[in-house]
Amino acid sequence: MPIENLVSTLSPKTSVAWRMYPSDQPLVPTSPRPCNRHPTGTYDSGERLPTTALLFERLLARIRSAHENRKFDPCPFSELWERACKQLTKHGNATDYANWKVRKILKNSKAFADLDNQIAEAWAGVQLSRIEGEGAYYRQVAYSKLQHLQLQRDTLKPKATIDVDDALEIAIAFWIEARNAYNASDEARALHALLEGNFYLGTTYSPITEAEAQRARGKKGIDTAPRDAIVAIAVEVVNSYKVSRNISIADELCAVIADLIALDPKYSEAVAAYKNWNNKGSAAATSVSERMHNMLMALTKKKQGIRESSGFRKAFKELHERTKTYGLSDSKNQVKNPAGG
């Protein structure tokens, strides 16, 4: 399964385009948001920060969820873990493991390596011309050659077809390295390794993943009845939804619809069927709700998801128009009393 946004990030050398000084970037004020619920492993801008232990639990759960829910016909999670452990043992640390994985995935890794060698030689030539005191012309020729090679290197595009588990193996490697550091009371190193693990996990969450999974299921001739049933229920919920507050963001409204389906007992059988559909591992109720949310959100966009005959896109659009304008007319009609009464 190709993950387009991971291809560029897995280049052996990141482009110079990202290099910037943090002190030069404009900032705006921010403030913590009220937090009344129990702490989790997610940073939510609240006043309470998640503990390091919760960060480990959260990342591990999301790695497993990504493997079981976003990969078509996944192997047992324990098999993926053992595979990552085997390679991590071989390479010694997560960074060398990630670099090895990149070289293995890239179809044009030799082109990157050749350019790196030429750049090293050109750089040595520039330094040599300075040491031996050659004329300005020869120094300029050497420097121009170096600049030309660096431009080639920066514009060379990685060519790869990347599987979800490729990124998850790297995320697991960084999780293990982070846990080893945490067990050794090196919490700073643990947090840095967790950041890297979350980065590689994030590359598996692309908008095309669900669409690709649907195409794969279609090619395999897998019954899509559980998904179709959820879509039919979603149309029912949307049509019966009573607007009681303003919801201007479509994604937020879609999440509300998914939660209503997941929490309503009369839909429990359909939700359970969808939960087990193309999923060899167990998933928490929240992950089922998230899967339904992602699938339904894809249906709201043109040329994505199930055919429009389901009626969901049209019904959702009409509901969103109502939630966007809810309460606005009343606030506009209110006249402010100059006397304050």
The model's pLDDT over 80-135, given as tens digits with 9 standing for 90+, comes to 999 999 999 999 999 999 988 888 877 677 777 788 888 888 888 888 777 666 66
For the question of whether the overall pTM of this predicted structure is more than 0.75, the answer is: no
CA–CA distance, 327 with 246 (Å, rounded to integer): 7
Say if residue 304's pLDDT is above 50. no
Q: State the chain's mean pLDDT as an integer.
A: 79
Mean pLDDT of all residues in 43-70? 87
Number of domains in the chain: 2
Say yes or no: 185 and 298 in one domain: no
Say if residue 236's pLDDT is above 60. yes
Say yes or no: 273 and 187 in one domain: no
132 occurs within a structural domain: no
Range of the domain at 78: 4-12+48-108+158-202
Say yes or no: 253 and 189 in one domain: no
pLDDT confidence of residue 142: 79
CA–CA distance, 255 with 192 (Å, rounded to integer): 31
287 occurs within a structural domain: yes
Q: No. of H helices and E strands in the chain?
A: 15, 0
CA torsion sign for 319, 321, 324, 328 is negative
Say yes or no: 236 and 92 in one domain: no
Domain end residue (candidates: 148, 170, 202): 202
More confident residue, 18 or 265: 265
Q: Is there a contact between 200 and 170 (Cβ–Cβ < 8 Å)?
A: yes
Say yes or no: 268 and 320 in one domain: yes
251 occurs within a structural domain: yes
Say yes or no: 193 and 224 in one domain: no
245 occurs within a structural domain: yes
52 φ, ψ (degrees, to nearest 5): -60, -40
Q: Is there a contact between 247 and 237 (Cβ–Cβ < 8 Å)?
A: no
Domain end residue (candidates: 175, 202, 229): 202
302 occurs within a structural domain: yes
Say yes or no: 175 and 220 in one domain: no
84 occurs within a structural domain: yes
* All residues at 6 or more sequence positions from 43 whose CB lies less than 8 Å from its CB, including other chains: 49, 50
30 occurs within a structural domain: no
CA–CA distance, 224 with 128 (Å, rounded to integer): 66
31 occurs within a structural domain: no
Q: In which band, very low, low, confident or very high, does the pLDDT at 326 lie, cut at 50, 70 and 90?
A: confident
Say if residue 264's pLDDT is above 70. yes
pLDDT confidence of residue 98: 93
CA–CA distance, 114 with 134 (Å, rounded to integer): 27
